[in-house]
C-alpha cells in the first residue's frame, strides 16, 4: 500500500478554493437574486461551471508537472473543541482531480444543454441555482482533505438532489420521489456519520492523512467496522442494494438532473468514498468481501430491472445502478480494482450522461413522452441525437473499441483474478451482467429508434402521457424534431468521450500510472484481449441478437403485454419497494402505533391517574374546611394538645 505523501499546495493549486467558489457564487446569486436575475441567470449558471472547469484544467496540468502529486491547501480551522480539531482543507491529488475534471467537464456540458432543454421553463433560474449548488457541494465532497468536509459535501449533494428531483413541485410523484430519495439517503448517511464518530473516538482525528496513518494500529475489528459503515454510506448514495429503491423514482426530476446527478456524478460518490478510504479497506478482507457482494448483487439487480422498464429514463436508471454495481465490485477487489473502478466511473460519466441527454432530446421532441412503447422509428427524425445515443450504446455494452469495453473488461478480469470460489462467482455475475446490459440497452435502442412509428396514431387521443411539465409543447400529436444547437453540441462532445475515454485511459496503462500512487498499482496487468473478455463479447453479441429477435424482428406492442413472472417482478423494481414496505414501513407503522398507544394509555395513563387521585382526594379533604370557627378552634386545640404531649414525652 502506498501512503499518501501530502505536501502543502504551491503555485496554481494554492487557489484551489476557487473551484468551490465559482459554483457557490453562482448558486448564491441565482437563489438570492430572485426574479431580477431571470433574464441572465442561465448565462451565469453556465459560466460558473465553465470557469471551474478552466481552473480544474489549470490545476490538472500543474499537478502533472509536479513530482508531489498530492497537494493540500489548508483553508482555515473549521472546528476546534477539546480533542477534536478539524481543519478545513482541500486536497488536490490524482483521485480528486479526476473527479474535478469529470464533475466540471460533464457538468459544464450538461449546464449548456440545460439552457436549451429548460428554455421554456419559467423556473429556469431556480434550476440553474440548484445545479450550481450541486456542483459546489460535489466539488467539496471530492476535494475535502478530511471526512467531515467530505460529509458536508455529501449532505450538500443530497440536498441538491432532493431539490432537483422535486423540481416539478406541483407534481405529486416528483415530491414523493424527492422525499424518498432523501430518506433512503439518510439511512446511508447514518452509516457514514457513525464511521466518522468511530474514527474520532479511535484515532482522535478525521483528516485523511491522520486516519490512514493510524488505522493500522487500531486493530482489524475497527477497520472492519469502518469498512462496513462506509459501505452503508456508499450504498445509500450510490443506490446499491439494499438502499437502491430511490434511484428509479429519482427520474422524476428534469432529464439534465438525471444525467448529471443521478448518472454521472453524485451516485458515484459512494465509489469515490470507498476508493478514497482504500487504506482502511486494505486492512479488512471482510468488508471488502461485503463490498464485492453488494456490487455483484446490484449489477444484476439493476440490469434485470432495466430489461423490463418501458420508461426510457427508468431503463437508463436501472442501467446506472448496474454500472455502479460494477464500480463497487471493483472497489471491493482492492488495489486490483480501484483504478478500474475509477476508470469505469469516468467512462460511465461520459456515456451515461450522453445517453440521458439523448433521452432528454427525444423527450424534448416528443412532448415529454417517456414511454418507449410510444416511440419507434425516430432515427431519421433526430439524426444527431440518434448517432450520439448509438455511440453511447456501443460504449455501455462494451463493443471494442468504445470506452465501455476497455473499462468494463478489466473489472471482470480482476473479479476472476480474485481467485477461489468467490472470485469465480463474482466474475460470472459480472459476465452475466454484461450480457443483460447488452440485452436491455439493445431493447432501448430498438424500441426508440427503429421499427414502426408508434406515436402518430397514438397521440391523436389527445392525452399525451406526462405532458404536465411546463416547457412541454402543447398537447396533441408529437412532431419529433431535432433539438437546438445548445443541446446537440454537449451530446456530441459526450459522444466523443464515450468513444475515446476508455481507450485513452486504459491503453498503455495511462490511468494506472496516474492514479496508482493514491490507490496502489494493480498487481497484474492484462493485455487488451483475454479469455473472459472474449467470452463476454460473444455473450454480449448473443444478447443483443436476442434483443433484436424480441424487439427488432417483430413489432413492439404499444401496450405492454402481461409478461412472465420475472418481467412482472422487474417492472416492480424486483419488489424493492414492496420489500421495504412490508419489512420496514409496516412494522415501523405498527411500532409507532404501539408507541402511541403506550404513550396514551401507559405514560399518559399513569400521569392522569395520579392527577385524578390527587384531585379526588383533595376534593374530599376540602370538605374539612367548613367555615365554622369552632371546628378550626377544635383542630387547633387538638394540635396544641398533641404538640404539648409530644414535648412532654420527649422531655421525660
- DSSP for residue 378: -
**Element housing 586 (H / E):** helix 586-597
Under the binding rule (CB under 8 A), the answer on residue 650 touching another protein is no
Question: Residue from 81, 623, 648, 652 that binds another protein (CB under 8 A)?
Answer: 623
Q: Is 615 in the site for another protein (CB under 8 A)?
A: no
Rounded to the nearest angstrom, the gap between the alpha carbon of residue 323 and the centroid of all alpha carbons in its chain is 12
Within 10 angstroms of residue 122's Cβ, the number of other Cβ atoms is 10
Among residue numbers 92 through 111, which ones bind another protein (CB under 8 A)? Answer: none
Q: Min. distance of Cβ 597 from another protein in angstroms?
A: 38
Binding mask 334-353 vs another protein (x if CB under 8 A, - otherwise)? --------------------
193 CB neighbour count, 10 Å cutoff = 18
Return the number of the residue (474 or 623) whose C-beta is nearest another protein: 623
- 61 or 632, CB closer to another protein? 632
The one segment of 92-100, 354-362, 553-561, 628-636 that binds another protein by CB under 8 A:
628-636
> Shortest Cβ distance from residue 621 to another protein (Å)?
10
Bond from prior residue into 242 cis (ω within 30 degrees of 0): yes
Task: Assess 651 for contact with another protein (CB under 8 A).
Answer: no
Contact (Cβ atoms closer than 8 angstroms) between residue 408 and residue 364: no
Beta pairing, strands 7-8 & 71-81: parallel
Q: Which stretch binds another protein (CB under 8 A): 173-181, 197-205, 412-420, 627-635?
A: 627-635
Q: Alpha-carbon distance 593 to 581, whole Å?
A: 16
C-beta contacts of 75-80 below 8 A and 24+ residues apart = 75/17, 78/148, 78/149, 79/148
Residue 608: which residues within 8 A CB-CB, separation 6 or more?
A: none
In whole angstroms, the minimum distance from the beta carbon of 613 to another protein comes to 19
* Binding-site member from 32, 81, 629, 648 for another protein (CB under 8 A): 629
DSSP 414-462: HHHHT-HHHHHHHHHHHHHHHHHHHHHHHHHHHHHHSSS--STTGGGGS
Which residues on adjacent β-strands are paired with residue 87?
77
> Which stretch in 143-151, 376-384, 534-542, 621-629 sits in contact with another protein by CB under 8 A?
621-629
Q: Is 630 in the site for another protein (CB under 8 A)?
A: yes
Q: Which of 628, 649, 651, 652 binds another protein (CB under 8 A)?
A: 628
Q: How far is the CB of 630 from another protein (least distance, A)?
A: 6
Q: Which is nearer to another protein, 531 or 648 (CB)?
A: 648
Q: Does 474 bind another protein (CB under 8 A)?
A: no
Among 625, 648, 650, 652, binds another protein (CB under 8 A): 625
Query: Would you count residue 648 as binding another protein (CB under 8 A)?
Result: no
Q: Which is nearer to another protein, 529 or 637 (CB)?
A: 637
Answer for which of 461, 557, 627, 648 binds another protein (CB under 8 A) is: 627
Kindly tell me which of 40 and 638 has the beta carbon lying closer to another protein.
638
d(CA 99, CA 143): 9
Compute the radius of gyration of the chain from its Cα atoms: 30
Q: Which of 390, 439, 399 is nearest to 544 (CA)?
A: 439
Total residues interacting with another protein, rule: CB under 8 A: 11
Q: Which is nearer to another protein, 524 or 625 (CB)?
A: 625
User: Rule CB under 8 A: is residue 642 a binding residue for another protein?
Assistant: no
For 78, the 3-state DSSP assignment is strand
CB of 624 to another protein, least distance (A): 8
Cα–Cα dist 588/585, whole Å: 5
Closest CA to 328 of 227, 189, 444: 227
Pick the closer one to another protein by CB: 67 or 625.
625
CA distance 294 to 332: 9
The residues of the shown chain that bind another protein, judged by CB under 8 A, are 622-623, 625-630, 633-634, 637
Amino acid at each position: 500500500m502506498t501512503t499518501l505523501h501530502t505536501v502543502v499546495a504551491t503555485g496554481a493549486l494554492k487557489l484551489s478554493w476557487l473551484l468551490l467558489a465559482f459554483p457557490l457564487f453562482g448558486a448564491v446569486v441565482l437563489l438570492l437574486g430572485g426574479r431580477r436575475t431571470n433574464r441572465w441567470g442561465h448565462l451565469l449558471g453556465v459560466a460558473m461551471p465553465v470557469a471551474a472547469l478552466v481552473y480544474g484544467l489549470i490545476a490538472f496540468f500543474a499537478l502533472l508537472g509536479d513530482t508531489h502529486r498530492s497537494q493540500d491547501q489548508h483553508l482555515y480551522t473549521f472546528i476546534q473543541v477539546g480533542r477534536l480539531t478539524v481543519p478545513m482543507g482541500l486536497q488536490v491529488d490524482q483521485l480528486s482531480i479526476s473527479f474535478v475534471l469529470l464533475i466540471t467537464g460533464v457538468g459544464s456540458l450538461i449546464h449548456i444543454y440545460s439552457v436549451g432543454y429548460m428554455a421554456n421553463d419559467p423556473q429556469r433560474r431556480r434550476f440553474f441555482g440548484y445545479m450550481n449548488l450541486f456542483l459546489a457541494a460535489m466539488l467539496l465532497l471530492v476535494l475535502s482533505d478530511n471526512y467531515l468536509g467530505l460529509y458536508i459535501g455529501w449532505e450538500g449533494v443530497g440536498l441538491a438532489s432532493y431539490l432537483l428531483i422535486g423540481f416539478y413541485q406541483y407534481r405529486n410523484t416528483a415530491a414523493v420521489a424527492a422525499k424518498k430519495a432523501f430518506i433512503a439517503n439518510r439511512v446511508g448517511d447514518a452509516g457514514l456519520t457513525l464511521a466518522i464518530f468511530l474514527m474520532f473516538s479511535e484515532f482522535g482525528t478525521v483528516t485523511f492523512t491522520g486516519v490512514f496513518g493510524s488505522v493500522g494500529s487500531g486493530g482489524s475489528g475497527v477497520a472492519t467496522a469502518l469498512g462496513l459503515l462506509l459501505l452503508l454510506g456508499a450504498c445509500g448514495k450510490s443506490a446499491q442494494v439494499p438502499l437502491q429503491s430511490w434511484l428509479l423514482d429519482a427520474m422524476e426530476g428534469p432529464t439534465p438532473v438525471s444525467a448529471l446527478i443521478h448518472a454521472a456524478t453524485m451516485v458515484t460518490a459512494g465509489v469515490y468514498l470507498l476508493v478514497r478510504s482504500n487504506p482502511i479497506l486494505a486492512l479488512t478482507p471482510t468488508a471488502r468481501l461485503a463490498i464485492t457482494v453488494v456490487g455483484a448483487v446490484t449489477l444484476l439487480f439493476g440490469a434485470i430491472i432495466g430489461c423490463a422498464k418501458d420508461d426510457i429514463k427508468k431503463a437508463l436508471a436501472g442501467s446506472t445502478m448496474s454500472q455502479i454495481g460494477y464500480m463497487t465490485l471493483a472497489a471491493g477487489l482492492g488495489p486490483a480494482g480501484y483504478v478500474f473502478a475509477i476508470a469505469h466511473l469516468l467512462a460511465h460519466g461520459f456515456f451515461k450522461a450522453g445517453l440521458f441527454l439523448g433521452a432528454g432530446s427525444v423527450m424534448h421532441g416528443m412532448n415529454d413522452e417517456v414511454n418507449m412503447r410510444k416511440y419507434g422509428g425516430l432515427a431519421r427524425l433526430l439524426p444527431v441525437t440518434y448517432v450520439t445515443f448509438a455511440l453511447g450504446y456501443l460504449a455501455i455494452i462494451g463493443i471494442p473499441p468504445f470506452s465501455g469495453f476497455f473499462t468494463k473488461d478489466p473489472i471482470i478480469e480482476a473479479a476472476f483474478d480474485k481467485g477461489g470460489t468467490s472470485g469465480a462467482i463474482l466474475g460470472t455475475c459480472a459476465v452475466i451482467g454484461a450480457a443483460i446490459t447488452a440485452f436491455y440497452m439493445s431493447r432501448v435502442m430498438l424500441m426508440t429508434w427503429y421499427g414502426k412509428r408508434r406515436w402518430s396514431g397514438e397521440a391523436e387521443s389527445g392525452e399525451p402521457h406526462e405532458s404536465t411539465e411546463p416547457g412541454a409543447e402543447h398537447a396533441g400529436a408529437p412532431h419529433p424534431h431535432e433539438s437546438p444547437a445548445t443541446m446537440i453540441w454537449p451530446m456530441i462532445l459526450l459522444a466523443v468521450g464515450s468513444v475515446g475515454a476508455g481507450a485513452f485511459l486504459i491503453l498503455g496503462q495511462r490511468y494506472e500510472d496516474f492514479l496508482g500512487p493514491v490507490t496502489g498499482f494493480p498487481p497484474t496487468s492484462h493485455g487488451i484481449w483475454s479469455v473472459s473478455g472474449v467470452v463476454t463479447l460473444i455473450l454480449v453479441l448473443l444478447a443483443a441478437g436476442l434483443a433484436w429477435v424480441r424487439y427488432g424482428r417483430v413489432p413492439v406492442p404499444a401496450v405492454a403485454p402481461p409478461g412472465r413472472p420475472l418481467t412482472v417482478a422487474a417492472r416492480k423494481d424486483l419488489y424493492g419497494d414492496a420489500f421495504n414496505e412490508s419489512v420496514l414501513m409496516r412494522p415501523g407503522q405498527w411500532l409507532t402505533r404501539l408507541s402511541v398507544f403506550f404513550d396514551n394509555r401507559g405514560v399518559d395513563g399513569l400521569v392522569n391517574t395520579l392527577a385524578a387521585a390527587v384531585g379526588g382526594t383533595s376534593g374530599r379533604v376540602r370538605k374539612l374546611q367548613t367555615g365554622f370557627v369552632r371546628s378550626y378552634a377544635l383542630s387547633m386545640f387538638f394540635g396544641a394538645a398533641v404538640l404539648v404531649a409530644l414535648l412532654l414525652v420527649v422531655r421525660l
